[in-house]
Structure 1
Amino acid sequence: MKPFTFENLFVLDLANNHQGELEHGLSVIEKHGEVVKKHGVRAGLKFQFRQLDTFIHPDFKERKDINHIPRFVETALSLDDYEELVDAVHRQGMVSICTPFDEESVDIILEMGIEVIKVASCSASDWPLLRKIAQTNRPVIISTGGLSMSKIDRLVSYFEYEKAHFALMHCVALYPTPPEKTELNQIDLLKNRFPSLTIGFSTHEHPDNLVNVGIAYGKGARIFERHVGFETDRHKLNKYSSTPEQVDRWITAWQQAQAICGGDYRVPADPAETASLRSLMRGVYARQNISAGETIEQGQVFFAMPLQEGQLTSGDFVGGITAARDYQAGVPLDGSLANLEPRDQDRIFQIMLQVKGILNQARIFIGRESAIEISHHYGLEHFREFGAVIITCINRSYCKKLIVMLPRQKHPYHFHKKKEETFQLLWGDVEIELAGKRTKLEPGDIFTVLGGEWHKFHTLDGCVFEEVSTTHFDNDSFYEDERIAKLPREQRKTQLDNWESVTRDVIRTR
């Protein structure tokens, strides 16, 4: 069974907006279920469970002057009513979610088959309750309103220790939340601090506010929660609960934000965008007459608008190309003169650009004194299929390296006679095969390879892992493929002085 995904989940909080009436609660579920179906989004309907006989001290149950207690008592439903409401949620194709405020309610959630547990901000430091929730083996969503970062760190550490499947919600527990108190930059903070977790936004702003959901999505929130209900002659909503019509507009605003933000990865430019850019580019024109077979240097051409159809662009010009035909002064050079076959220097530059991008994304920084080696077992032209970039940080009686692999890259079977090495995955994904057995590492996992053990590895989306080993010796890698074994080391390894030298050399030769 696939694990529950929190991505792009809408949480519609019923809370006490059922008004203590089963039929009204069923109507709320039905009306909001129609909105969810209209937009085709994933949504859950959330209940709140409090076992009032024990949740409220007996001496205070009849008090009208204490905040919340009268409303909890007046709107109480039976467990049979809640079972009927849960069934209605499932009939609408929504996920059932519940916030328990006491341990007994956690047991009831499990008995009713409710799928997701929500931790309210007021319970996010209630450790007897948190311990009970963490051990349920249910997906958990945790709101963080009012918590210090040290308390959030403790929460995350504990739920990770319990191996719970959970997400965090930025939340401001002001009802309603004024715009200047919304603090949406906290979404950035939580995403950067906990990159492996889904981060959401539990909102209490005025229901007509359609700005916050778009900003929150743009900042990376992927769960969106708000209180829901509807009004009748007898029942009025509070200032932070949404009617079905307001939820409709809210989801529409989210869909517009999603379309505006686009994909999470870089895609090829739209043809219309490419045409727009080309209309502003410069083409290459002959400055003087050029004869067929003549080598063309930059002094013999000039760059100017417009870029004509089939013309060589200024960005594709490299000095030293050979003219395939005669050119009169002032005429455009053919685009076929572009050297589409990259030189080794260009290949190295492109490799290191991508490596630097991966290191930046992983927030890993290397020292200027580190030695950089491109390992290309079948030549630079096949590097993107087989190879790795190896950055040696230190090599003494112990050795530390960083190994960077590009997406879908493989490192073939080999062993070392002298070296024992331990890998730790820092970022991305990697699968190691040792003596015919495969192990997929998660970030933080450690894997040791002893001398003489055959091993290889590959990645799907790219990775950075650390290698700590005994002293590294050249020519201590022995490959299964005889073609690799027969190549001199200099033909399967490219040593770089440093990153700056690669950049400088490529620029100087263009």
Structure 2
Amino acid sequence: MAVFIIAEIGINHNGDINIAKKLIEIAKEAGCDAVKFQKRTIEKVYTKEFLDSPRESPWGSTQRAQKEGLEFGLADYQEIDRFCREKGIDWFASAWDLESQEFLSQFNCKYNKIASAMLLYEPLLQAVASEGKHTFISTGMSELTDIERAVHIFKEAGCPFELMHCVSTYPMDDEDANLNRIKMLQDIFKCNVGYSGHEVGLAISYAAVALGITSLERHITLDRAMYGSDQAASLEPAGLRMLVGAVRKIEKAMESCSFSITPKEVSISKKLRAHYLNND
């Protein structure tokens, strides 16, 4: 089974549909299977006190201005939907509240995503599971009992899903990757397990592929120096191309498991062993 590679655009578009479209094109050209966004209803996710608090950003001097500046509306998502269809790449988004999930459902995307931050929000899990779409469930910031509860909700609803091992630090230090949890999740839940990475570089993602993940999600950006909290943990275009190319090579390298001599080795064996095998 080929690893399903997701290019997480998230909010790295900085509220600019043209940046979003460039990132979609980059993901498609690199060979990704899908791009992913994030959707929030600002007033549902944040308190008024928080939104009114100060924060300097390209959009103003309050948290509200910053959050609203990063949020795409209906016209933007209609253009994303149209553009992804034109380019031939799937898209979906992680909702951070029930209203956002309802908003996203109008686009009839193939997939849903539960962000790590939303794993404990059971009403959202139930709403997503009721749609019956294949759902990627990230497990960052969660205990085993939290994951068990989420899995139960999706199994009860008969909704297909896979877990995604995740460590919710941005960027993640290599020593915190805890990649052995991938095998633990596979053994405990008897389901497919992916990896959502926030590390700098590619080595950890390669190791996750070698451990048998079924999906891989990495944030992407035009330039890590751009404004935004996720940029430092994102891949630039060249890094994304390297990632996809290497993942496909790793898949080929792990296709077989045999102790027999391979057909391509037969002629080499005859040549290199001839000095003693032909003298019997």
State whether residues 187 and 221 of structure 1, in contact with CA within 8 Å, keep that contact through their aligned partners in structure 2: yes
Amino acid at match of 1:129: L
How far the C-alpha of 1:96 sits from its partner, in A, is 1.4
Residue 249 of structure 1 pairs with residue 249 of structure 2: no
**1:268–1:118: structure 2 CA closer, same or farther, 3 Å change rule?**
same
Separation (CA, whole Å) in 1 of partners of 2:259 and 2:67: 52
**1:81–1:202: structure 2 CA closer, same or farther, 3 Å change rule?**
same
State whether residues 139 and 165 of structure 1, in contact with CA within 8 Å, keep that contact through their aligned partners in structure 2: yes
In structure 2, what is the equivalent of residue 53 of structure 1? 43
Residue 119 of structure 1 pairs with residue 114 of structure 2: yes
State whether residues 224 and 234 of structure 2, in contact with CA within 8 Å, keep that contact through their aligned partners in structure 1: no
Structure with the larger helix share: 2
Percent identity of the aligned residues? 24
Separation (CA, whole Å) in 2 of partners of 1:122 and 1:232: 23
Residue 260 of structure 1 pairs with residue 253 of structure 2: yes
How far the C-alpha of 1:131 sits from its partner, in A, is 0.9
Q: Deviations along 1:6-45, whole A, 9 cap, x unmatched?
A: 9511111111111111222122212322222xxxxx5111
Secondary structure of 2:52's counterpart equals: coil
How far the C-alpha of 1:170 sits from its partner, in A, is 0.4
How far the C-alpha of 1:129 sits from its partner, in A, is 0.9
State whether residues 16 and 72 of structure 1, in contact with CA within 8 Å, keep that contact through their aligned partners in structure 2: no
**1:140–1:233: structure 2 CA closer, same or farther, 3 Å change rule?**
closer
Q: Deviations along 1:389-413, whole A, 9 cap, x unmatched?
A: xxxxxxxxxxxxxxxxxxxxxxxxx
How far the C-alpha of 1:271 sits from its partner, in A, is 2.6
In structure 1, what is the equivalent of residue 199 of structure 2? 205
Q: Deviations along 1:454-482, whole A, 9 cap, x unmatched?
A: xxxxxxxxxxxxxxxxxxxxxxxxxxxxx
Amino acid at match of 1:124: L
State whether residues 191 and 220 of structure 1, in contact with CA within 8 Å, keep that contact through their aligned partners in structure 2: no
The TM-score with structure 2 as length reference comes to 0.87
How far the C-alpha of 1:184 sits from its partner, in A, is 0.9
Task: Name which of 220, 229, 233 aligns with 1:228.
Answer: 220
State whether residues 175 and 204 of structure 1, in contact with CA within 8 Å, keep that contact through their aligned partners in structure 2: yes
Which 5+ residue runs of structure 2 have no aligned equivalent? 57-61
Which 5+ residue runs of structure 1 have no aligned equivalent? 1-5, 37-41, 282-304, 310-331, 333-510
Secondary structure of 2:106's counterpart equals: helix
State whether residues 229 and 241 of structure 1, in contact with CA within 8 Å, keep that contact through their aligned partners in structure 2: yes
State whether residues 50 and 63 of structure 2, in contact with CA within 8 Å, keep that contact through their aligned partners in structure 1: no
Higher alpha-carbon Rg: 1
Q: Deviations along 1:187-223, whole A, 9 cap, x unmatched?
A: 111122223x2210100001xx221122111111120
Secondary structure of 2:54's counterpart equals: coil
How far the C-alpha of 1:268 sits from its partner, in A, is 5.5
- What pairs up with 1:158-197 in 2 under 5 angstroms? 158-195=153-190, 197=191
Separation (CA, whole Å) in 2 of partners of 1:128 and 1:100: 12
Amino acid at match of 1:269: I
Task: Name which of 126, 142, 159 aligns with 1:147.
Answer: 142
Amino acid at match of 1:87: R
Residue 273 of structure 1 pairs with residue 268 of structure 2: no
In structure 1, what is the equivalent of residue 12 of structure 2? 17
Separation (CA, whole Å) in 2 of partners of 1:148 and 1:233: 33
Separation (CA, whole Å) in 2 of partners of 1:233 and 1:97: 26
Structure with the larger strand share: 1
In structure 2, what is the equivalent of residue 218 of structure 1? 210
Q: Deviations along 1:216-263, whole A, 9 cap, x unmatched?
A: 111111201011121399757721111211101111221232233233
State whether residues 179 and 208 of structure 2, in contact with CA within 8 Å, keep that contact through their aligned partners in structure 1: yes
- What pairs up with 1:65-464 in 2 under 5 angstroms? 71-195=66-190, 197-206=191-200, 209-231=201-223, 238-263=231-256, 266=258, 269-274=261-266, 306-308=276-278
The TM-score with structure 1 as length reference comes to 0.49
Amino acid at match of 2:155: E
**1:118–1:267: structure 2 CA closer, same or farther, 3 Å change rule?**
farther
Amino acid at match of 1:101: W
Secondary structure of 1:48's counterpart equals: strand
Q: Deviations along 1:94-116, whole A, 9 cap, x unmatched?
A: 11111011111111111122221
Secondary structure of 2:53's counterpart equals: coil
Looking at both structures, which has the greater relative contact order when contacts are Cα pairs under 8 Å and sequence separation is at least 6? 2
Separation (CA, whole Å) in 1 of partners of 2:45 and 2:104: 16
**1:175–1:273: structure 2 CA closer, same or farther, 3 Å change rule?**
same
How far the C-alpha of 1:86 sits from its partner, in A, is 2.0
How far the C-alpha of 1:272 sits from its partner, in A, is 4.2
Q: Please tell me the root mean square deviation across aligned C-alpha atoms, in Å.
A: 2.9
State whether residues 12 and 44 of structure 1, in contact with CA within 8 Å, keep that contact through their aligned partners in structure 2: yes
Secondary structure of 1:46's counterpart equals: strand
How far the C-alpha of 1:68 sits from its partner, in A, is 7.4
Separation (CA, whole Å) in 1 of partners of 2:69 and 2:147: 34
How far the C-alpha of 1:267 sits from its partner, in A, is 8.3
Amino acid at match of 2:241: D
